[in-house]
């Protein structure tokens, strides 16, 4: 069976974003006078949708305000996250071979800031983030949406 499409996770797979993520949670906490979570607490929640993480880490905060603060910080500091070494060359090669590429991330629409900043957004036929789906990983909704937008069947 020929591979027609490849769906990637973003944070920790294509993007070395851990330090930016930690800095963002610290900024959110300090901005809203909340307790700064430990890196261990953040790591234990990574992979869950951003809104779930915010609600868990800052249950007393206003979720909408927390998310806005986080998104603004990440957008302003997108240069703190970098693609892992070799990722851009790999994307270029896979794209040149005719593979459809997609991202499925538990993160928010902030992924577009990273992709744009690193000039790699054009490689992806689909970018599915937590703002676009209601049932998150490991549920298949995001994967099925990415497959559909790539014009392939999930198999």
Q: How far is C-alpha 4 from the chain's CA centre?
A: 23
In the predicted structure, residue 1 carries a pLDDT above the cut 80: no
pLDDT in tens, 96-136: 999 999 999 988 888 998 899 889 999 999 999 988 999 98
What's the N-to-C CA distance of the chain in angstroms? Answer: 9
d(CA 30, CA 58): 11
Say if residue 106 is preceded by a cis peptide, omega within 30 of 0.
no
pLDDT score, position 47: 83
In degrees and rounded to multiples of 5, residue 103 shows phi and psi of -120, 135
Which is it for strands 15-16 and 82-83: parallel, antiparallel or unpaired?
antiparallel
Other beta carbons within 10 Å of 96 = 9
Q: What's the predicted TM-score (pTM) here?
A: 0.85
């Amino acid at each position: 069976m020929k591979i027609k499409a490849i769906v990637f996770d973003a944070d920790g797979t294509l993007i070395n974003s851990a330090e930016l993520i930690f800095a963002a949670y610290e900024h959110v906490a300090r901005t809203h006078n909340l307790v700064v979570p430990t890196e261990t607490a953040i790591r234990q929640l990574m992979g869950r949708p951003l809104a779930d993480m915010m609600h868990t880490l800052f249950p007393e905060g206003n979720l909408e305000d927390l998310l806005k603060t986080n998104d603004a910080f990440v957008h302003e500091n997108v240069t703190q996250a970098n693609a892992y070494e070799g990722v851009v060359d790999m994307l270029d090669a896979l794209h040149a071979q005719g593979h459809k590429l997609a991202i499925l991330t538990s993160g928010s629409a902030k992924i577009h800031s990273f992709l744009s900043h690193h000039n790699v957004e054009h490689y992806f036929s689909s970018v599915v983030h937590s703002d676009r789906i209601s049932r998150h990983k490991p549920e298949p909704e995001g994967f099925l949406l990415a497959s559909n937008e790539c014009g392939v069947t999930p198999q």
